[in-house]
Structure 1
Amino acid sequence: LYKDYTHVVMQKSCPFDIHNFSGWCVVTSTFYSQYLNNVTNRLIKTEVVEGEENTVLLKDVYYKGYDLKLKFNTKNPLEPKVEMDDQIAGETGEAFGTIYGDGKLRISQPSIYTSYYNTCQNYVLQYVSMSVDNKDGSSFGTVGTFISMFEWISDAEAEKLKEQGL
Protein backbone atom coordinates (compact mmCIF):
# COMPACT_ATOMS: atom_id res chain seq x y z
CA LEU A 1 0.00 0.00 0.00
CA TYR A 2 2.72 2.53 0.98
CA LYS A 3 5.54 0.98 -1.05
CA ASP A 4 8.84 2.11 0.51
CA TYR A 5 7.67 5.32 2.27
CA THR A 6 4.98 6.63 4.57
CA HIS A 7 3.75 9.98 5.82
CA VAL A 8 3.41 10.34 9.61
CA VAL A 9 1.79 13.28 11.37
CA MET A 10 2.42 13.72 15.08
CA GLN A 11 0.53 16.04 17.37
CA LYS A 12 1.66 16.98 20.85
CA SER A 13 -0.93 17.09 23.61
CA CYS A 14 -0.20 18.04 27.22
CA PRO A 15 -2.34 17.01 30.20
CA PHE A 16 -5.24 19.37 30.94
CA ASP A 17 -5.25 21.22 34.26
CA ILE A 18 -7.89 23.93 34.69
CA HIS A 19 -5.62 25.74 37.16
CA ASN A 20 -3.16 26.49 34.33
CA PHE A 21 -5.89 28.78 32.98
CA SER A 22 -6.34 30.85 36.13
CA GLY A 23 -4.36 33.82 37.42
CA TRP A 24 -2.92 36.55 35.21
CA CYS A 25 -3.80 36.62 31.54
CA VAL A 26 -2.76 38.91 28.68
CA VAL A 27 -5.60 39.55 26.23
CA THR A 28 -5.11 40.70 22.65
CA SER A 29 -8.30 41.31 20.67
CA THR A 30 -9.30 42.75 17.34
CA PHE A 31 -12.22 44.34 19.23
CA TYR A 32 -9.70 46.45 21.18
CA SER A 33 -8.07 47.83 18.06
CA GLN A 34 -11.44 48.83 16.57
CA TYR A 35 -13.34 50.10 19.62
CA LEU A 36 -10.89 50.92 22.42
CA ASN A 37 -8.61 53.82 21.53
CA ASN A 38 -4.89 53.14 21.95
CA VAL A 39 -5.46 49.70 23.52
CA THR A 40 -3.72 46.70 22.01
CA ASN A 41 -3.44 44.40 25.04
CA ARG A 42 -5.00 44.10 28.47
CA LEU A 43 -3.81 42.37 31.60
CA ILE A 44 -6.73 40.68 33.36
CA LYS A 45 -7.28 38.23 36.22
CA THR A 46 -9.01 34.91 35.78
CA GLU A 47 -10.25 32.35 38.26
CA VAL A 48 -11.64 28.83 38.25
CA VAL A 49 -15.43 28.80 38.70
CA GLU A 50 -16.25 26.53 41.63
CA GLY A 51 -19.04 24.05 40.93
CA GLU A 52 -18.76 24.38 37.14
CA GLU A 53 -16.48 21.80 35.58
CA ASN A 54 -13.56 23.12 33.50
CA THR A 55 -14.85 26.71 33.58
CA VAL A 56 -12.95 29.93 34.21
CA LEU A 57 -14.16 33.47 34.85
CA LEU A 58 -12.38 36.16 32.82
CA LYS A 59 -12.65 39.46 34.69
CA ASP A 60 -13.20 42.79 32.90
CA VAL A 61 -12.27 41.41 29.47
CA TYR A 62 -13.86 44.14 27.37
CA TYR A 63 -15.35 46.56 29.92
CA LYS A 64 -14.96 46.97 33.66
CA GLY A 65 -17.56 45.10 35.66
CA TYR A 66 -18.40 42.64 32.87
CA ASP A 67 -16.88 39.21 33.41
CA LEU A 68 -17.13 36.33 30.94
CA LYS A 69 -17.31 32.59 31.58
CA LEU A 70 -15.37 30.27 29.32
CA LYS A 71 -15.73 26.47 29.38
CA PHE A 72 -13.02 24.06 28.22
CA ASN A 73 -14.31 21.00 26.36
CA THR A 74 -11.85 18.25 27.32
CA LYS A 75 -13.67 15.26 25.78
CA ASN A 76 -11.19 14.89 22.93
CA PRO A 77 -7.56 15.95 23.64
CA LEU A 78 -6.92 16.24 19.89
CA GLU A 79 -9.81 18.72 19.54
CA PRO A 80 -9.32 21.09 22.48
CA LYS A 81 -12.27 23.44 22.04
CA VAL A 82 -13.60 26.24 24.25
CA GLU A 83 -17.27 27.09 24.55
CA MET A 84 -19.16 30.09 25.83
CA ASP A 85 -22.83 30.79 26.47
CA ASP A 86 -24.26 34.11 25.29
CA GLN A 87 -23.35 36.86 27.77
CA ILE A 88 -23.23 40.64 28.20
CA ALA A 89 -19.82 42.16 27.45
CA GLY A 90 -20.62 45.79 28.31
CA GLU A 91 -22.90 48.76 27.76
CA THR A 92 -23.40 50.32 24.32
CA GLY A 93 -23.03 53.77 25.87
CA GLU A 94 -19.49 52.97 26.96
CA ALA A 95 -18.63 51.05 23.79
CA PHE A 96 -19.99 53.53 21.23
CA GLY A 97 -20.57 56.76 23.14
CA THR A 98 -24.37 56.51 22.90
CA ILE A 99 -27.10 54.05 23.86
CA TYR A 100 -28.33 51.75 21.11
CA GLY A 101 -31.24 49.32 21.42
CA ASP A 102 -31.53 48.00 24.97
CA GLY A 103 -28.10 49.38 25.85
CA LYS A 104 -26.42 45.97 26.22
CA LEU A 105 -23.48 44.78 24.13
CA ARG A 106 -24.07 41.05 23.71
CA ILE A 107 -21.35 38.52 23.05
CA SER A 108 -21.73 35.01 21.64
CA GLN A 109 -19.57 32.35 20.08
CA PRO A 110 -20.16 32.02 16.31
CA SER A 111 -20.77 28.49 15.06
CA ILE A 112 -18.80 28.95 11.84
CA TYR A 113 -15.45 29.47 13.64
CA THR A 114 -13.76 27.07 16.05
CA SER A 115 -12.39 28.49 19.28
CA TYR A 116 -9.72 26.36 20.91
CA TYR A 117 -7.16 26.12 23.69
CA ASN A 118 -3.58 24.88 23.91
CA THR A 119 -2.57 22.97 27.06
CA CYS A 120 1.14 23.00 26.26
CA GLN A 121 1.40 26.79 25.93
CA ASN A 122 -1.60 27.83 28.10
CA TYR A 123 -3.52 29.98 25.67
CA VAL A 124 -7.01 30.27 24.19
CA LEU A 125 -7.87 31.54 20.72
CA GLN A 126 -11.52 32.59 20.71
CA TYR A 127 -13.83 33.96 18.05
CA VAL A 128 -16.76 36.04 19.30
CA SER A 129 -19.67 37.84 17.69
CA MET A 130 -21.04 41.01 19.23
CA SER A 131 -24.51 42.39 18.73
CA VAL A 132 -27.17 44.64 20.22
CA ASP A 133 -30.86 43.82 20.73
CA ASN A 134 -33.87 46.12 20.90
CA LYS A 135 -35.82 46.41 24.14
CA ASP A 136 -38.41 43.97 22.78
CA GLY A 137 -35.72 41.30 22.22
CA SER A 138 -35.51 41.65 18.45
CA SER A 139 -32.13 42.31 16.86
CA PHE A 140 -30.99 45.94 16.69
CA GLY A 141 -27.84 45.04 14.78
CA THR A 142 -24.55 43.20 14.61
CA VAL A 143 -21.33 44.90 15.71
CA GLY A 144 -19.03 42.30 14.18
CA THR A 145 -17.00 39.15 14.68
CA PHE A 146 -13.71 39.48 16.54
CA ILE A 147 -10.83 37.23 17.53
CA SER A 148 -9.22 37.29 20.96
CA MET A 149 -6.05 35.64 22.23
CA PHE A 150 -5.85 34.86 25.95
CA GLU A 151 -2.33 34.01 27.16
CA TRP A 152 -1.81 32.97 30.78
CA ILE A 153 1.40 34.23 32.38
CA SER A 154 3.20 33.96 35.70
CA ASP A 155 2.86 36.45 38.56
CA ALA A 156 6.42 37.65 37.86
CA GLU A 157 5.62 38.32 34.18
CA ALA A 158 2.44 40.14 35.23
CA GLU A 159 4.42 42.37 37.63
CA LYS A 160 6.84 43.29 34.84
CA LEU A 161 3.96 44.17 32.52
CA LYS A 162 2.30 46.29 35.24
CA GLU A 163 5.59 48.17 35.71
CA GLN A 164 5.60 48.82 31.96
CA GLY A 165 2.11 50.33 32.19
CA LEU A 166 -0.04 47.49 30.87
Structure 2
Amino acid sequence: MEVLSNGERILLRRIGEAVGIRMPQGEGFGLRPLPLPTTLPAGFGWIGNPQLVLRVPSVDKVDLKAFAPPLRHHAAIPGGTNVNVVEVIAPGLARIRSWERGVEGETLCCGTGSAVAAAWLARTEGGCSWRIHTASGEEVNIELELAEDGSWRDLWLSGPVRRLGIVHPDPTLLLGFPH
Protein backbone atom coordinates (compact mmCIF):
# COMPACT_ATOMS: atom_id res chain seq x y z
CA MET A 1 0.00 0.00 0.00
CA GLU A 2 1.23 3.50 -0.76
CA VAL A 3 0.36 6.60 1.28
CA LEU A 4 1.53 10.21 1.06
CA SER A 5 2.95 12.10 4.03
CA ASN A 6 4.03 15.69 3.46
CA GLY A 7 4.23 14.90 -0.24
CA GLU A 8 6.56 11.92 0.30
CA ARG A 9 5.61 8.43 -0.88
CA ILE A 10 5.46 6.00 2.02
CA LEU A 11 5.18 2.27 1.33
CA LEU A 12 3.48 0.01 3.86
CA ARG A 13 2.89 -3.73 3.87
CA ARG A 14 1.10 -6.15 6.15
CA ILE A 15 2.56 -9.52 7.06
CA GLY A 16 0.14 -11.40 9.34
CA GLU A 17 -0.30 -9.21 12.42
CA ALA A 18 2.81 -7.15 11.64
CA VAL A 19 2.94 -3.95 9.63
CA GLY A 20 6.04 -2.94 7.72
CA ILE A 21 7.20 0.43 6.47
CA ARG A 22 9.87 0.97 3.85
CA MET A 23 12.35 3.41 5.33
CA PRO A 24 13.70 6.38 3.33
CA GLN A 25 16.31 5.55 0.74
CA GLY A 26 18.24 7.30 -1.98
CA GLU A 27 20.80 10.06 -2.00
CA GLY A 28 21.93 11.03 1.50
CA PHE A 29 20.39 8.04 3.28
CA GLY A 30 22.61 5.25 4.57
CA LEU A 31 25.66 4.49 6.64
CA ARG A 32 28.25 7.25 6.88
CA PRO A 33 31.77 7.56 8.24
CA LEU A 34 31.90 7.58 12.03
CA PRO A 35 32.18 11.28 12.97
CA LEU A 36 33.85 10.75 16.37
CA PRO A 37 36.32 8.35 17.96
CA THR A 38 34.92 5.64 20.23
CA THR A 39 36.44 2.83 22.25
CA LEU A 40 33.58 0.54 21.19
CA PRO A 41 32.80 -0.78 17.73
CA ALA A 42 30.42 1.81 16.29
CA GLY A 43 28.55 2.89 13.21
CA PHE A 44 26.73 6.03 12.15
CA GLY A 45 23.91 6.54 9.69
CA TRP A 46 21.34 8.99 8.37
CA ILE A 47 17.75 7.82 7.98
CA GLY A 48 16.04 11.21 8.15
CA ASN A 49 17.71 11.71 11.52
CA PRO A 50 21.23 10.89 12.74
CA GLN A 51 21.82 7.55 14.46
CA LEU A 52 24.95 6.52 16.37
CA VAL A 53 25.11 2.76 17.04
CA LEU A 54 27.60 1.25 19.50
CA ARG A 55 28.10 -2.47 20.05
CA VAL A 56 28.29 -3.48 23.70
CA PRO A 57 28.65 -6.87 25.42
CA SER A 58 25.34 -6.39 27.30
CA VAL A 59 22.72 -3.67 26.77
CA ASP A 60 21.44 -4.34 30.31
CA LYS A 61 24.77 -3.34 31.86
CA VAL A 62 24.92 0.08 30.15
CA ASP A 63 23.94 3.04 32.35
CA LEU A 64 22.32 4.77 29.39
CA LYS A 65 21.45 7.88 31.40
CA ALA A 66 25.17 8.50 32.04
CA PHE A 67 26.56 6.96 28.84
CA ALA A 68 24.38 8.52 26.12
CA PRO A 69 24.20 12.31 26.77
CA PRO A 70 27.88 13.10 26.09
CA LEU A 71 27.60 11.24 22.76
CA ARG A 72 24.16 12.66 21.98
CA HIS A 73 25.54 16.22 22.33
CA HIS A 74 29.05 15.58 20.93
CA ALA A 75 30.51 18.60 19.08
CA ALA A 76 31.42 16.40 16.09
CA ILE A 77 27.70 15.96 15.33
CA PRO A 78 26.04 19.38 14.94
CA GLY A 79 22.47 19.16 16.18
CA GLY A 80 23.22 15.96 18.05
CA THR A 81 22.30 12.36 17.40
CA ASN A 82 20.24 9.48 18.73
CA VAL A 83 22.44 7.01 20.61
CA ASN A 84 21.76 3.29 20.33
CA VAL A 85 23.56 0.49 22.15
CA VAL A 86 23.27 -2.92 20.54
CA GLU A 87 24.15 -6.42 21.73
CA VAL A 88 24.41 -9.26 19.24
CA ILE A 89 22.78 -12.41 20.66
CA ALA A 90 23.20 -14.69 17.64
CA PRO A 91 23.57 -14.30 13.87
CA GLY A 92 20.66 -12.12 12.74
CA LEU A 93 19.45 -11.48 16.30
CA ALA A 94 20.27 -8.49 18.54
CA ARG A 95 19.00 -6.40 21.43
CA ILE A 96 18.90 -2.60 21.43
CA ARG A 97 18.36 0.31 23.80
CA SER A 98 17.98 3.84 22.46
CA TRP A 99 18.46 7.36 23.80
CA GLU A 100 16.57 9.75 21.56
CA ARG A 101 17.26 13.41 20.96
CA GLY A 102 14.22 15.58 21.52
CA VAL A 103 12.97 13.11 24.10
CA GLU A 104 16.32 13.45 25.88
CA GLY A 105 15.86 10.05 27.40
CA GLU A 106 15.55 6.35 26.76
CA THR A 107 12.59 5.27 24.66
CA LEU A 108 10.96 1.88 24.51
CA CYS A 109 11.53 1.50 20.77
CA CYS A 110 13.33 3.67 18.24
CA GLY A 111 12.38 2.35 14.82
CA THR A 112 14.90 4.47 12.92
CA GLY A 113 17.62 3.50 15.40
CA SER A 114 16.77 -0.18 15.00
CA ALA A 115 16.86 0.18 11.21
CA VAL A 116 20.29 1.86 11.15
CA ALA A 117 21.59 -0.64 13.73
CA ALA A 118 20.47 -3.50 11.48
CA ALA A 119 22.14 -1.88 8.45
CA TRP A 120 25.39 -1.47 10.40
CA LEU A 121 25.16 -5.04 11.72
CA ALA A 122 24.54 -6.28 8.16
CA ARG A 123 27.78 -4.55 7.15
CA THR A 124 29.84 -5.79 10.12
CA GLU A 125 28.23 -9.18 10.86
CA GLY A 126 26.62 -10.09 7.55
CA GLY A 127 23.08 -11.01 6.66
CA CYS A 128 20.29 -8.99 5.12
CA SER A 129 17.65 -9.75 7.75
CA TRP A 130 17.87 -8.88 11.45
CA ARG A 131 15.47 -9.36 14.36
CA ILE A 132 15.94 -6.70 17.02
CA HIS A 133 14.54 -6.99 20.56
CA THR A 134 13.66 -3.51 21.85
CA ALA A 135 13.41 -2.16 25.39
CA SER A 136 9.61 -2.52 25.16
CA GLY A 137 10.04 -6.29 24.95
CA GLU A 138 8.75 -6.24 21.36
CA GLU A 139 10.70 -7.58 18.42
CA VAL A 140 11.09 -5.64 15.19
CA ASN A 141 12.29 -7.16 11.94
CA ILE A 142 14.52 -5.39 9.47
CA GLU A 143 15.26 -6.55 5.93
CA LEU A 144 17.50 -4.63 3.54
CA GLU A 145 19.83 -4.63 0.61
CA LEU A 146 23.08 -2.89 1.57
CA ALA A 147 25.44 -1.49 -1.06
CA GLU A 148 29.23 -1.32 -0.66
CA ASP A 149 29.04 2.47 -0.17
CA GLY A 150 26.72 2.03 2.86
CA SER A 151 23.54 3.10 1.10
CA TRP A 152 20.55 0.82 1.36
CA ARG A 153 17.66 -0.22 -0.78
CA ASP A 154 14.36 -1.70 0.29
CA LEU A 155 15.07 -1.29 3.99
CA TRP A 156 11.87 -2.57 5.58
CA LEU A 157 11.08 -2.19 9.29
CA SER A 158 8.20 -4.32 10.51
CA GLY A 159 6.70 -5.35 13.78
CA PRO A 160 3.53 -5.71 15.79
CA VAL A 161 1.02 -2.88 15.80
CA ARG A 162 -1.61 -2.23 18.42
CA ARG A 163 -3.69 0.76 19.42
CA LEU A 164 -2.64 2.21 22.74
CA GLY A 165 -5.31 4.86 22.86
CA ILE A 166 -6.93 7.79 21.11
CA VAL A 167 -5.55 11.30 21.44
CA HIS A 168 -7.84 14.32 21.37
CA PRO A 169 -5.68 17.45 21.18
CA ASP A 170 -6.75 20.47 23.17
CA PRO A 171 -8.53 22.86 20.74
CA THR A 172 -6.08 25.63 21.63
CA LEU A 173 -3.35 23.63 19.89
CA LEU A 174 -5.21 24.14 16.61
CA LEU A 175 -5.24 27.95 16.78
CA GLY A 176 -4.11 29.41 13.50
CA PHE A 177 -4.64 26.16 11.60
CA PRO A 178 -7.62 25.43 9.37
CA HIS A 179 -10.14 23.14 11.04
For Structure 1 versus Structure 2, the TM-score category normalised by the shorter chain is under 0.3
- Give TM-score scaled by structure 2 length: 0.26
Highest CA radius of gyration, 1 or 2? Answer: 1
